[in-house]
């Protein structure tokens, strides 16, 4: 379902792909996030997504003017996951609400892997 916002000038429709891409770009900017992840059912492996494929690491559900996100990410070794999750949730929620004008109702974070960064 697409996000729809009504204003005095008309309706604005936002594609879930746009929301997912923006959320992915915000997420990879957070400290401790190496990148977004995609799970391959075919081979059972988790793959690090390239910058032009960030939307595939985010599942978006839109209900009226509320957004729910599931973020699949790969984290850096040695980072506190609870601290990372708090930072990621707050950053994505704030920036998504500013970007879309819609309310972010729920964010789930799935840590799909860990990478050692030099």
| Exposed e or buried b per residue across 26-47, where buried means at least 16 C-beta atoms within 10 angstroms of its C-beta | bbbebebbbbbbebeeeeeeeb
Q: pLDDT tens digits for 73-83?
A: 999 999 999 99
Query: For residue 77, what is the enclosing H or E element?
Result: none
For residue 89, the model assigns a pLDDT of 96
Contact criterion met (CB below 8 Å) for 72 and 11:
no
C-alpha triplet 1, 56, 14: angle, nearest 5°: 35
- Domains recognised in the chain with CATH numbers: 3-115 (3.30.70.1350)
Q: pLDDT tens digits for 54-78?
A: 788 899 999 888 999 999 999 999 9
Q: What is the mean pLDDT of each run of 10 residues along the chain (118 residues)?
A: 73 89 92 83 64 83 91 93 96 95 94 86
């Amino acid at each position: 379902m697409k996000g729809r916002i009504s204003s005095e000038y008309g309706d604005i429709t936002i594609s879930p792909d746009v929301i997912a891409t923006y959320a992915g770009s915000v997420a990879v900017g957070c400290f401790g996030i190496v990148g977004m992840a995609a799970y391959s059912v075919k081979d059972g492996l988790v793959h690090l997504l390239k910058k032009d494929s960030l939307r595939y690491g985010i599942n978006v559900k839109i209900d009226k003017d509320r957004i729910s996100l599931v973020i699949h990410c790969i984290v850096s070794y040695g980072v506190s996951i609870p601290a990372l999750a708090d930072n990621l949730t707050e950053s994505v929620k704030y920036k998504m609400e500013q970007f879309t004008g819609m309310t972010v109702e729920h964010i789930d974070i799935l840590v799909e892997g860990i990478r050692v960064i030099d």
